[in-house]
Amino acid sequence: MHKKLFIPGPVNVSEDVLQKMATPMIGHRTKAASILQKNISEKMMQLMYTKKQIMLSTSSGSGLMEGAVRSCTRKKAAIFSIGAFGDRWYKMAISNNVPADKFSSGWGKPTTPNMVDEVLSTGKYDLITITHNETSTGVMNPIEEISEVIKKYPEVIFCLDTVSSMGGTKIEVDKLGVDICITSTQKCLGLPPGMAICSISEKAIKSAKKVENRGFYFDLLEMYKYIQNKDHQYPSTPSLSHMFALDYKLDKILEEGLENRFKRHLEMAKYVRSWAKEKFELFADEKYASNTLTTVKNIRNISVSDLNNKLAKHGYMISNGYGDLKEKTFRIAHMADTTLDQIKELLSLIDKILNI
Amino acid sequence: MHKKLFIPGPVNVSEDVLQKMATPMIGHRTKAASILQKNISEKMMQLMYTKKQIMLSTSSGSGLMEGAVRSCTRKKAAIFSIGAFGDRWYKMAISNNVPADKFSSGWGKPTTPNMVDEVLSTGKYDLITITHNETSTGVMNPIEEISEVIKKYPEVIFCLDTVSSMGGTKIEVDKLGVDICITSTQKCLGLPPGMAICSISEKAIKSAKKVENRGFYFDLLEMYKYIQNKDHQYPSTPSLSHMFALDYKLDKILEEGLENRFKRHLEMAKYVRSWAKEKFELFADEKYASNTLTTVKNIRNISVSDLNNKLAKHGYMISNGYGDLKEKTFRIAHMADTTLDQIKELLSLIDKILNI
């Protein structure tokens, strides 16, 4: 039943990484577990260009997104949405009684620095959430420009969703001034789903100390205290299998070299974009097209499900559009360990199937 | 670094199950993913003796415990605690602003049916949480008697923590009238940590519909709706690796035969208890001693850490006491795939090391 996945997560996981998921168990209150967490942290810090504390959560990325907005909003959160996962962050705030306002760009459009400036200048907000890479639309926000604006408001906690971009493009967490940067294993990192990862600043922790009703499992303050005081361990039993695999995979990522990895992702992105423009249209404004997945506008009115069924016979799989964009768009992920050659194979197969 | 684990989770995982953790990825929005969830559900229903909906959560058991008390308490929760994990359930309620009262038995003592009757008869509570098997003290509550009392109060949602007992002893969920029965993978089921599992009743779902502010990731109502309406899928990406392994392991458990499995656990428990009574003392009242782990009172004043270090040289590992019980007690788990012969080996090694 396994196919070559070109969907924006879960991605293909290489055999050596899968084998690390099969590592025998150890006690989660042992020195070995502490060392594992420390090793992962050090490597994640390199990948994220940060000196901040790294925390792991046995959950999908959504868990830490919920934890961030709930644990650290004192007054009100400004949620900037450019699609399904921005909308989800707003839903997380509301369903936790966290005061929040949502500022949406049209689907396929980015958050602009001006929008952010206008909203934060009201002084009403002490936390902001930005989607770096929107998995539903294939838009990658202009994060450097946005972060320059956010820096003008030092009291604001800056939360960034890099679930579908971290490891696929350069995100310099400390330089950007991100307080809580969130990602998860099943996208550009090339691991199975089941673990979320974040970096967290002292500023965010200070803020959490002033927030009550932070809940239990995703209480970022409690998690932080545990890591600091209990020798890098966690309040509840973590997914050790994911930790073994992540520890190993980060070595592989650093061996490839971060710049090489980002270059490979960019080359794949450029190739898919140019194909999309020739044969269809890009859904996102090209200036903001994602380096890790491309959302293609279905101007030919093909049946995407039908295309995927035909691809399946050759062992390939792409993604239909997300939610309301189903059949109106389709998505091709170019992330994790995928190579340009594999992308070329896929696209020429699509050309053949569609006879385009 | 791998040792033979006699700690109450993570447990040893057999090589064939570990290999299932290394299964290649599939899309989590595919038919294959739906079938996987359905297959797991059907087998879990057999193991739990229930016809209720099964739900999986990519988290530790704590996640679903938090989700249950938060999603389904309308008026007030009565939290019965017999140790660390009962106390944790109370903390979960409080940290989510869920009105709750805690009713503690002394550590090593059970919750009594009388206590429950007295509390519920006040009419103040519409949800009750009971720890079936307290991992910190080795007490297994008299769940049949307790459930008879709870049945007198049909408006009360009955939540049961079977994290360290499900799969190791018979727990007939429907017969007991449990509304939300929670367990996780890394104890008696013999899988790596990282996934929690629950059964949920229509009554609990009806109750959740009346509760606002249920949060996002552990909102049991949202999870339930997704499974029902979206062809057995989940709001966020689940840990597919755990699902592959769980699906396989449940076959193995059913092949062993549930009665055989429970009998094996009971035999190991009896052997450890009789050893403990001969060489030390039982921490729990023997009438309520757990079938899946034994907490031993350290009346000889040995150094438990030292014992564990010496055991480590032979490749074995037991647990020190939990929290304040550290060095005052130690814990030997006899759960999952452990055999009576392995237990005998361990105990005779301890005898040799301690010269007792």
SS3 for B300-313, per residue?
CCCCHHHHHHHHHH
How much is the average pLDDT of B315-326?
95
C-alpha dist (Å) from residue A344 to A44, A267, A321? 31, 11, 21
Identify whether B8 is preceded by a cis peptide bond (ω within 30 of 0).
no
Residue B88 counted as domain residue: yes
Q: What is the pLDDT of residue A1?
A: 55
d(CA A293, CA A185): 16
d(CA B162, CA B147): 14
Q: Is the dihedral of CA B178, B182, B187, B192 positive or negative?
A: positive
How confident is the prediction for chain A on average, in pLDDT?
Answer: 97
DSSP state letter for B112:
P
B237 closest CB neighbour out of A21, A193, A236: A193
Residue B189 counted as domain residue: yes
At A249-274, the pLDDT tens digits run 999 999 999 999 999 999 999 999 99
Does B216 sit within 8 Å of A91, measured CB to CB? Answer: yes
* B295 phi, psi to nearest 5 deg: -100, 125
Angle formed at CA A10 by CA A9 and CA A11, multiple of 5 degrees: 85
pLDDT cut 90: percent of chain B above it: 97
Q: What is the pLDDT of residue A256?
A: 98
What CATH code is carried by the domain that includes residue B276? 3.90.1150.10
> Chain B residue with minimal CA distance to A8?
B27
Does A61 sit within 8 Å of B63, measured CB to CB? Answer: no
Q: Are residues B183 and B34 in the same domain?
A: yes
B216 closest CB neighbour out of A5, A92, A216: A92
Does A61 sit within 8 Å of B236, measured CB to CB? Answer: yes
At A39-52, the pLDDT tens digits run 999 999 999 999 99
Last residue of a domain, one of A213, A236, A254: A254
A96 closest CB neighbour out of B26, B63, B215: B215
Residue B331 counted as domain residue: yes
How many other CB atoms are there within 10 angstroms of residue A3's CB atom? 21
- Amino acid residing at B98: V
* HSE-CB for A106 with a 13 A CA cutoff: 5
Nearest Cα residue to B214 out of A104, A70, A314, A156: A70
Q: Which residues of B touch A217 (CB under 8 A)?
A: 59-60, 62-63, 66, 217-218
H helices of chain A, where?
A: 15-21, 31-48, 61-72, 84-94, 113-120, 143-150, 173-176, 202-209, 220-229, 240-256, 258-279, 304-313, 340-354
At A190-224, the pLDDT tens digits run 999 999 999 999 999 999 999 999 999 999 999 99
Residue B239 counted as domain residue: yes
Q: Are residues B117 and B264 in the same domain?
A: no
Q: Are residues B232 and B324 in the same domain?
A: no
The alpha carbon of B93 is separated from its chain's Cα centroid by a whole number of angstroms, namely: 18
Q: Which domain holds residue B186?
A: 19-254
> Chain A residue with minimal CA distance to B18?
A22
Count Cβ–Cβ pairs < 8 Å, chain A vs chain B: 184
C-alpha dist (Å) from residue B7 to A286, A329, B186, B294? 55, 51, 11, 10
Q: Are residues B175 and B317 in the same domain?
A: no
> Chain B residue with minimal CA distance to A187?
B237
A344, A327 in Cβ contact below 8 A? no
Q: Are residues B59 and B193 in the same domain?
A: yes
Residue ranges of the annotated binding site of B for substrate are 331
C-alpha dist (Å) from residue A286 to A168, A323, B94? 18, 22, 48
How confident is the prediction for chain B on average, in pLDDT?
Answer: 97
Residue ranges of the annotated binding site of B are 331
Q: What is the pLDDT of residue A39?
A: 97
B9 closest CB neighbour out of A12, A237, A239: A237
Last residue of a domain, one of B254, B288, B322: B254
Which distant-in-sequence residues (6+ apart) come within 8 Å of A299 by Cβ? Answer: A280, A281
The alpha carbon of B271 is separated from its chain's Cα centroid by a whole number of angstroms, namely: 22
Q: Are residues A52 and A130 in the same domain?
A: yes
Q: Are residues B123 and B261 in the same domain?
A: no
Distance from CA of A199 to the nearest CA of B (A): 19
Residue A92 has pLDDT above 80, yes or no: yes
Last residue of a domain, one of A216, A237, A254: A254
Residue at token pair 């009757």:
B117
Q: Are residues A128 and A269 in the same domain?
A: no
Q: Are residues A246 and A270 in the same domain?
A: no
Residue A310 has pLDDT above 80, yes or no: yes
Q: Are residues A192 and A116 in the same domain?
A: yes
At A121-144, the pLDDT tens digits run 999 999 999 999 999 999 999 999
Listed range (A179-183, A189-193, A350-354, B233-237) with the worst mean pLDDT: B233-237
Q: Which of A241, A293, A318 to mutate to test the interface with B (most CBs of B within 10 A)?
A: A241
Distance from CA of A32 to the nearest CA of B (A): 8
Q: What is the pLDDT of residue B1?
A: 55
Q: Which residues of A touch B214 (CB under 8 A)?
A: 95
d(CA B234, CA B226): 6
Residue A313 burial by CB count (10 A; 0-12/13-18/19+): exposed, middle or buried?
exposed
What CATH code is carried by the domain that includes residue B131? 3.40.640.10
Q: Are residues B212 and B250 in the same domain?
A: yes
d(CA A321, CA A289): 16
Which distant-in-sequence residues (6+ apart) come within 8 Å of B106 by Cβ? Answer: none
Does A62 sit within 8 Å of B217, measured CB to CB? Answer: yes
Residue B107 counted as domain residue: yes
Q: What is the pLDDT of residue B3?
A: 85
Q: Are residues B267 and B192 in the same domain?
A: no
Give the number of domains in chain A. 2
> Chain B residue with minimal CA distance to A6?
B27
Residue B14 counted as domain residue: no
Does A32 sit within 8 Å of B192, measured CB to CB? Answer: no
Does B26 sit within 8 Å of A2, measured CB to CB? Answer: yes
Is beta strand B319-320 parallel, antiparallel or unpaired with respect to A316-317? unpaired
